[in-house]
A and B are shown apart, each in its own frame.
Chain A
């Protein structure tokens, strides 16, 4: 019998970030926040109200924001930067590389509006390459959370973790289905549901789609094991290998380009440790475009139906 994940409300993941930031600020007086003219989008208002002296409005100047965050961290501050994922990563890759990652600085780069589901703003504001960019940086921890509660817990957890972190979350309002009192453990996968025929490894908003796909697969007589990989780097290799040893195949699901994302991390692991059939539910090397989030998820092949089809396909490829 599959686990049920009833939910009573939908919330945006970024509000989880705002709530977590406030909590982290209360837990640790060294926590400071920086924003590049998107306070409302990042839900930083509560933190600013509580700790006005610990907030820095940088203006539309993301490169300066990353440098200032690195400088703040030198004297023991724990800076959280906030802007859209595109401007958090691609726009300032060199600043993050030199002043944060290579310099071993304790900066938390927090990025909203990741992926396609930013929607109508279109491709200039969406980003589907950020996981790849960040995971290639030595020493960078990469986290992509699945709902409000998990985003809140992750925000609190990364404040206590020493080292650079990229925390990625989306814009849409989605079901809140994880435990409100969860302890977020960086690098430790969450087993969503057990199964025997196929492993579904999902991250971010795709975890909920994977749960829906699991129910549809059950109706087709297929038992899916679903793992929520909220931490893409470091990857919980043990959890993934243990599951695929049992099921013999895997579908990876992410709101990201199939090049450079979670799917590639899993493929790299399997190629040396456990060669296995894999299917990718991800954007097929494309930019996004304007549309509603649901329309875009359908057009770019990130719907529940795509996961179900990928599962059937990968099971057929098992020897």
Chain B
């Protein structure tokens, strides 16, 4: 048996969150997500958590498990090497119920950076020609599953709800470094301010938290350089 300590909170009924304890039989390969289903099916049908693909590609089940931000679906209980597993929602986001957090702000910031390609107005008849080398520049940046683990782990986002967040800035980099996109200047203007790039304190939590091993910190650093350089170019006489 493994003991699960799961944070519970129903803002409509409860004054404060509490922790409920459940026992789940140990089984080889059992994941935290499967354990949550076990609890829902056998102990408490009212437990609320998000899930969909159960294969680490949809980004539904990011939560705080034994001190780390992880996806519940690809975290095996065995690998946590602990008889007690604590499960909490992503930090500093409003709890809607139990492990379900409010991602309104997360997606609002995503929308703010114009998260779509802006190419030349004249489209080619077939595909844009993009060399493998050019395509490789956006490797990783296109793999974000929007799970919000980075956002939940970011102390800057915790203190400043207006901060765009690692996910939105990584998405900006995804278009800035795409050879087909022609709006770098506008994109940099959208993020080069004190609630965007320059709010990032380079704490690296996002990079550590990312379950897909992506590097939002690195993307932010590159964008900072690019933004400073493009401003300098405008004022320098050469």
Is chain B a partner of chain A in the same complex? no
Residues of A participating in the B interface, judged by any CB pair closer than 8 Å: none
